[in-house]
Chains A and B, each alone.
Chain A
Amino acid sequence: MRYVIIGNSAAAVGTIEGIRQVDGAGSITVISDEAYHTYSRPLISYLLCGKTTEERMKYRPDDFYEKNGVTLLLGRHVCAIRPEEKTVLLEDGEKIAYDKLMVATGSRPFIPPMEGLEMVKKRFTFMTLKDAKTLEAALTPKSRVLIVGAGLIGLKCAEGIHGRVGSIAVVDLADRILPSILDAEGSSIVQRLLEAKGIVFYLSDSVRQFLPERALLQSGKEIGFDVVVIAVGVRPNTELVAQAGGKVSRGIAASDCGETSLPDIYAAGDCCESYDITTGQNRILALLPNAYMQGEAAGIAMAGGEAHFKKAVPMNAIGFFGLHMITAGSYDGDAEVLQDSEGNYKKLVTKDGLLKGYILIGNVERAGIYTSLIREQTPLAAIDYQLIKEKPQLMAFSRKQRAEKLGGMRI
């Protein structure tokens, strides 16, 4: 069996580990246009602020490919998939034949048309290791950095470069920061912290025009800058599958074992959709844990095993300057907010007798117990909800459930 994987990040690694659980013999070829050993993309901000190194941010050990019998084609670009002859075509003309193909092509930064942006010399995106290195090379202690986008990527970039530049300004069209993971109150808590660190926000605003060293905003305000980072969002890399005739909606359409609409072609990770159990909709969940698990299930299926990735839940664990937050699920439902005197913020959202989502800022202890209620769709009537609301604890479960969880009893 010849397995070919396009991509070399979390979904690809999941696929390799999934295949090898079932098939120790088949050949695996990984093709990636990035020239690096597999590394963790979310760690690039930690790299800039010195909390990790290029060596330590490797997602798997140095001997990973060798141990898994993987042939690596790095720095090579796939330009087409030919399903009729079961090959992928590389830019340099080489053809690679596959029996099972995994498309784990991820996503790329979305750069909206902005007047004058192409004239800005020091403009960057913040997604790959190369992005981080080129941005870093352009920074000086005097740099005035303008970040367009107050989402996860933009703000992690801000944290990463904080302390090594002169100033950081962040512009976003939304009226609050991190709108994809936080509610209004949560956004304001985190915004206050970032402002206290000297980061300046321009919200409900956007860049009308870039001039040399100045950005004119829609509001009429002006921001002086030398470096621009565009972090407004990402777009899935779906083109290879679309051009091969595969079904693509927002992302590549894939079953719960990763099959696309094309025979023997699978997809996983940020390029494809998964079924979000909290909203009941197919959507792109561009999250590393999701990518890994989707890839693993697909890898097992590609090798003829039985695996399904059915419990996709949007979730994020992130921190800024030591303030941690964990969020998960959907916020559509009955919300209950609990705040304590130490400034910890908690919101629990329930609907139809289930926990659907939560936000924890500050104290994130044992958050996984909440995540598990969402993922397993545990009826809240079956546990002591008052107790679990107070804090995540196994005490809220029945003695019998605990015997199963902790005592290894199968009941």
Chain B
Amino acid sequence: MKKIYVNEKWCLGCHLCEYYCAFANSGESDMVKALKGIEIHPRIRIEERGNVSFAVSCRHCDEPLCVKSCISGALTEENGVISIDPEKCVGCYTCIMACPYGAVMPSENGAIQKCELCTKNAGGLPACVKGCPNKAIVFEERAV
């Protein structure tokens, strides 16, 4: 299946992926309206230090420790995509304890949030990939 991969060599550290992610999951149709004056809570996060920067989001692991560890059954894997049912999630953060990439995070409503490959919003090519100006984030099928 297609997954998100990052190539840190090409990352400019512009943080646009974070903004596109927040916008895609805001439910708003206008980016300015969605993001102006608010603190964003994207599911993809840039790490940066000196001249190194790269984006981190859910790897949709073949052996998803978050799903196996989830105590409520809120995290599930279907067709390779790991998603969260915020209704079932009680915010215990066991998944945050389990994820080796630090790619699961608290949301604003008490449940956790994570990248769901834009399968629950407008869909199509994930917004971070679409918005990355330097192709540092790609959505590809890879035989790994």
Q: Which residues of A contact B (CB under 8 A)?
A: 10, 14, 40, 42-43, 46, 51-52, 56-61, 288-289, 292-293, 296, 315-319, 324, 326, 328, 364-369, 371-372, 375-376, 387, 392-395, 399, 402-403, 405-410
Contacts and interface: CB of A to CB of B under 8 A. Distances in A.
Interface string B22-52: 0000000000000000000000000111001
B115 to A, nearest CB: 12
Contacts of A371: 97-98, 100
Interface in B103-144: 104-105, 142, 144
Given A46-B90, A52-B90, A367 B97 contact: yes
A199 to B, nearest CB: 20
Given A40-B73, A60-B73, A366-B96, A399 B102 contact: no
- Counting chain B residues whose Cβ lies within 8 A of the other chain, the interface size class is 35 or more
A395 B73 contact: no
A368 B102 contact: yes
Nearest to B49: A395
Interface in B1-29: 3, 5-8
Given A292-B68, A408-B5, A365 B73 contact: no
Query: Which of A56, A319, A406 has the most chain B CB within a 10 Å cutoff?
Result: A406
A195 B101 CA distance: 35
Contacts of A402: 8, 54
B99 interface: yes
Given A56-B87, A56-B88, A407 B102 contact: no
B8 A408 contact: no
B8 A406 contact: yes
Contact of A43 (B54, B59, B71): B71
Nearest to A289: B69
Contacts of A410: 144
Nearest to A409: B144
A59 B73 contact: yes
B84 interface: no
